[in-house]
Amino acid sequence: MTKITLGAEAMKLIKKVAALKKGKYSVPVLEYLKFTVLDDNQVSVMFCDSELTVEKIIYAISVENLSSKTFLVHTDVLKKVKGIKSNSLYSFETDGQSVTFNDNGVSKTSNAVDEDIYPTFPEDEYEKMVALNKDLLSKLQASTLSASTSETRPILTQVCMRQDSVISTDSHRLFMTEYKGKLGEQDFVVSPLLIAAVASVEKNDKNFFGVIHLGNYHVLIETMTGRYCFRRVEGNFPDTSRLIPTEFRTEFDIQDTTKFMSVLSACYELTKDSVHTMVTFEINDRSLLMYSQTEAGEKVTEELDIIPDGKNSPDKLKITFSSKFLLDALKQLGTEKITFLMATAQRPFLVGGKDKDSRALILPVRAF
């Protein structure tokens, strides 16, 4: 009978891995996590679905009697663990025929599932490498908001690292942020799902550091105690530099950012159930009139003061665009200072935040 005893921190990590499972899978074995004893205090926990594979090393208080080194545990059992305290104790016991999970004295036993049918970690040949620190991971996370969710152009579902920038676009909006480290001369694309998995499991590691590897068929991120693998998406990420305007007729800052965010959120809430979440800006000298309206005639409207920024004082301009895109952009940028740079009602405009090295671009829509 193999017995693994774990403390609170190990169980927190297991729950993070279990949380990667979303919805139901057509292959029943993918509803499980695979546990493999590595030595007398290290255990690997593996998650796998059709695209993402994760292996995380956890540290056990003790491992006794290695009669069975590998076993499977259903993710639902692990997700139900609540109220983890610093002195909490957990254990897994297996004899190859059954698995018993003990949660602070409360036991649940289930029949063992054949671990041999569980997928193995993908093998590949990896070449290109990029060092991954907390700063780059944060920039990659921010970029995922504006990546495409449509498979029409698979390459746009990815986040691109290009020379000294991290870029994402769904062809209706774009986010770009500069990175001070080395990203290499050639483009390197990473899936938002891979980024989210690493961020979710590793976010509390104060000494986080990893390496991104590019293989023939996969992208692999290795950390100090984890491996995260996702299928590689082929294709050339578009040249986004030609989309960014260089001349503007209207530049301004929002004076009261708290009130602006409140009104923008109200505009989005009003229209979020419709096909389009549109908001209209009417800019006139030092004021901004912003409003959204439903087909039923419900309306949110507010006039705010703005501060001319740079050499281009605000011209009269009426422009309509997605309130959701702007909310996402402000999450990506930070909201201590909000700057708009606009040309015409038909051309894309830029939004800036407290980080001058980051910019978001949003395409307007025609309003009738």
User: Which of 224, 241, 258 is at the close of a domain?
Assistant: 241
- Tell me, what's the pLDDT at 354? 47
Residue 272 sits in the same domain as residue 309: yes
Q: Which domain holds residue 293?
A: 244-362
**Which amino acid, 105?**
G
Establish if 368 belongs to a structural domain: no
CB atoms within 10 A of CB 163: 12
Residue for token pair 């003790």:
62
Contact yes or no for 246/347 (Cβ under 8 A): no
Contact yes or no for 206/213 (Cβ under 8 A): no
Phi, psi of 195 (to 5 degrees): -60, -45
Question: What is the CB-side half-sphere exposure of residue 11 using CA atoms within 13 A?
Answer: 26
Establish if 263 belongs to a structural domain: yes
Residue 92 sits in the same domain as residue 164: no
Residue 5 has pLDDT above 60, yes or no: yes
Averaged pLDDT for residues 268-277: 90
Residue 248 sits in the same domain as residue 358: yes
- Tell me, what's the pLDDT at 368? 55
User: Which of 82, 117, 152 is at the close of a domain?
Assistant: 117
Domain of 301: which CATH number?
3.70.10.10
Establish if 183 belongs to a structural domain: yes
Its pTM stands at: 0.91
Establish if 188 belongs to a structural domain: yes
Q: How many domains does the chain have?
A: 3
Residue 37 sits in the same domain as residue 139: no
Residue 11 sits in the same domain as residue 63: yes
Domain of 150: which CATH number?
3.10.150.10
Chain segment 240-262, per-residue pLDDT in tens:
988 888 888 888 999 999 999 99
Nearest-CA neighbor of 365 among 316, 315, 325? 325
- Give residue 332's pLDDT band: very low, low, confident or very high (50, 70, 90): very high
Establish if 173 belongs to a structural domain: yes
User: Which of 98, 117, 136 is at the close of a domain?
Assistant: 117
Terminal-residue alpha carbon distance, the chain: 72
Establish if 295 belongs to a structural domain: yes
Residue 181 sits in the same domain as residue 80: no
Establish if 218 belongs to a structural domain: yes
Residue 159 has pLDDT above 60, yes or no: yes
Q: Report the b/e string of 202-231 with b at 16+ CB within 10 A.
A: beeeeebebebbbbeebbbbbbebbbbbbb
**Helix pair angle (257-271, 323-333), 10° resolution:** 140
The two tokens of residue 322 are 């997605």
Residue 80 sits in the same domain as residue 165: no
Chain segment 17-38, per-residue pLDDT in tens:
999 998 888 899 999 999 999 9
Establish if 111 belongs to a structural domain: yes
Mean pLDDT in the chain?
92
Cα torsion 295, 298, 300, 301 to 10°: value is 90
Residue 185 sits in the same domain as residue 248: no
Q: Kindly give, in sequence order, each residue whose CB lies less than 8 Å from that of residue 79, ignoring residues fewer than 6 positions away.
A: 15, 18, 19
